[in-house]
Every structure is written in structure tokens, then in C-alpha cells.
Structure 1
Amino acid sequence: MKPLKIVAVSAGLSRPSSTRLLADRLAEATRRILAEEAPVEVRVIELRELASDIADNLVTGFPAAPLREAIEAVTEADGLIAVTPIFTASYSGLFKSFFDVIDNTALTGKPVLIAATGGTARHSLALEHAMRPLFSYLRALVVPTAVFAASEDWGTAGDERTDGLSDRITRASRELADLTRRHPAAVSASAQIDEVIPFEQQLAALRP
């Protein structure tokens, strides 16, 4: 059986990073759920390692090999986890720039779990007013539960009005797993290019 591919994108800037930690926990929870029925491959992409390549790509239009490989991993994934720190009430510039260099049709129909980290819970609204619209514009299938982790969320069980971080991770990961099972990855861009009929052949078909 072909393994399901889960890719997590982390836009954390520091090392260690709470953003990377959240990406790892979401990826592992999703892997554990999917592994009950099928083999699973998980990859985490650290955008901080690709920052220079992303900037060069925005200017030149050509991705360096490491960035091209990361883009291919994202576009060919069966399920995507996108995690960013929140700066000034929105996703980070590095996070947005990475998705700017991906073709805006490449994520069509792809299951996506959105998540973010920030200093206080006040930043959690950015998931709904910034991140969800971004992936809706890209025509991805965004799971209902978005996961935000403020500094005080780590190691807590929530309160009478909210679930703890572990519960939110489990719920969102289960939603991503369910969507991933129902929506296998589309054919990769490179495979689609190989299937295009050459222009000369199309012209020949029109001649009497």
C-alpha cells in the first residue's frame, strides 16, 4: 500500500521554537491516527532554513534546489499542516512568502490543518481572519478546528470554557486524518506537465 504523505510547514524563527514544537505534535497526532489503517510518511519543513531561497525566488522567479524540493513536498502531500507564529495580528512574512512562491492552484482540494503560536490568546483570532482566508483563496480544504497555542497553553488542561491544547491537537488531527483519507493527493505538477500533449501534435491533429 502506498504510504500517505503528511507534510508540516513550520515558520518558526527561533531554535528551539514553540512553532516547530506545535508542528511536531500535530504531525505526530495525525500520523498516529492514520497509521491505524495505512502506512504514513511525515516530513516537517523548517522555513527558516529556506528564508534566503524564498527571497531569491520572489525576485528572480526561479527556486533553488532546496526550495523546489520543499515546494514539491507540499504540493504532493496528501495532507498539509501549516503553522506560523503570529506577528502584528497576522501570520509571519516568511510564512506568507513561502506560499506566495507556490502556484496558486497547487493546493486545490488539499486537506490543510492551520495552526499558530503567540504570546497571548489575543492573537488567536488571526487564525480566522488571516490564515483561513489565505487557504480558502488557494482553494484548499481547511479543517474546522484551528489550533492556537499561547505561552500559557503549554502543559495546561484548559478551563470550563475551552479544551486544553492536547485536546485541540487531537481533535484537529483527527479532522485532518478524516479528510486525508477521503481526498487523496492530486497528480503532482511535474506529472501533469508530462501528460500535456505537445503543441505540434495538436496542430497535426487539426490538419486535413
Structure 2
Amino acid sequence: MTESRKIVVISAGLSQPSSTRLLADRLAQATVKRLADDGVAAEVQVIELRDLAQDITNNLLTGFAAPKLAAAIEQLTASDGAIFVTPIFTTSYSGLFKSFIDVLDPDALSGLPVLLGATGGTERHSLALEYAMRPLFSYLHAVVAPTTVYAASSDWGSTGDASTGGLPERIDRAAGELAALVREHDRSTRVRDPFALPTGFSPVGGFGAQ
């Protein structure tokens, strides 16, 4: 293998162990395998948002990221692809997940290949990936893989049906799509300082001061 890529996994599971982390790991493993089949090595870094919850809250209140949160953001912005997985609460992504997105620079994910996944108790919430998560990442100008993966409690160990396939099949299809996007990703065209001050910022006069 002569090529290598960096994949960052963002898991917003609250319990330990969690089905959210389990799905995140399955998606990461499948993506690594797909890349390896094409001669591309992948380094995977997993970020558990539950471990950063206090730092994320403090960042929202103060505008400054603690070292551990800053390191996680830098890992994400310097990656070649990312996997985001959240539990679904009240028909949408979790508050912790959205809070992490809110502390990112608006351009931090621009051009980044992304695979979206979610977990929930019932199949009824599966469309949250399309009406809540996909629009969010489209707004952030990420390159979202066509297939999203939702895992309800009943999906674990199920083979699915003829139209949707089982969870392993959906994971493999989504991983193949992300791997294809990651292979073509040129990190040099999008890596930026996630903590750079906006153009025109003056510590004395504020934004746009001359």
C-alpha cells in the first residue's frame, strides 16, 4: 500500500457501551476494508463526544476550546473523511451532537467526505437522517455519501428484507461510497486553521474595524 488516508469517527453515544459507538465502529471497519481492497491504508481516530461534553458546553459559553476539544477539532479538520453517528432523540440528532457541530468553524467541514449514521429504538426515526442530518451537513458544504445508515434496535442481528437489505449490507454499501470519496480527496485544497480569526477582525475595534 503506497497511499494512506485519515478517517475521523465522531460518536455521540451517551451510554457506555452504546449502540451508537457500535455502529460507528462497524462503519469505520467497513470503510477501512474497502480502502484496503484498493491499496489504500487508513488511520482511524475515534472521538467520543460524551468525553468532551463539558468542554463543548464551556466552548459555547466562552467561545474558547479547551485543549482536548481543540485537539479533536484539529483531528477532524485535518482528516480525509469523517463518519458522524448520533442517537436520534425526539425525531432528530442529539443535543450533544448539535452542540459539537455548533462549536466548529462554519467552513471546517467544507469539501470533507462524510458518512452519516444514526441509531434509535424504532425504525420510525430512520428518516431523521434525511430531513435533519443531511441538510445540516449540506449547509456546512460537506460531501455527504449518498447512503446513510440507520440502525434500530431490531436491526442488530436482522437480515432485513429484499428491498432494504440487512444492516451489514447497508453498512457495506455506505462504506464503499465513503471510501470512493476519500480516495479522491485532496486534503491540501481544504485544510485550514479551525481557530483562525475571521477576516477583518480587530481585538480592539471588533469585526470589520479599520
The reply to whether TM is greater than 0.5 is yes
Q: Which residue in the other structure is 2:129 paired with?
A: 127
- In the TM superposition, what is the alpha-carbon distance from 1:183 to its structure 2 partner? 1.8
Partner of 1:160: 162
- Residue 188 of structure 1 deviates from its aligned partner by 2.9
Alpha-carbon distance in 2 for matches of 1:172, 1:159: 17
Equivalence for 1:81: 83
Which structure features the higher share of helix residues? Answer: 1
Which moved further from structure 2: 98-107 or 29-38? 29-38
**Distance (whole Å) between structure 2 residues aligned to residue 132 and residue 184 of structure 1:** 22
Q: Distance in 2 between matches of 1:100 and 1:60?
A: 13
- Aligned counterpart in structure 2 of residue 189 of structure 1, from 169, 187, 192: 192
Computing the radius of gyration over CA atoms, which structure comes out larger, 1 or 2?
1
TM-score calculated relative to the size of structure 2: 0.88
Gapped regions of structure 2 (runs ≥ 5)? 200-210
Quickly say closer, same or farther: Cα 1:105–1:156, change in 2 above 3 A: same
Structure 1 stretches of 4+ moved >4 Å: none
Per-residue deviation, 1:60: 0.5
In 2, Cα distance between equivalents of 1:191 and 1:22: 28
SS at structure 2 position matched to 1:105: coil
Residue 190 of structure 1 deviates from its aligned partner by: 3.4
1:9 and 2:10 matched: yes
For the residue of structure 1 that corresponds to 2:73, the secondary structure is helix
TM-score by length of 1: 0.89
What SS does the corresponding residue of 1:6 show, helix, strand or coil?
A: strand
3-state DSSP of counterpart to 2:88: strand
**Residue-by-residue CA offset, 1:45-69 (whole Å, 9 max, x unaligned):** 1000000000000000100011001
Give the % identical residues.
Answer: 62
Match of 2:115 in 1: 113
Q: Which 5+ residue runs of structure 1 have no aligned equivalent?
A: 197-208
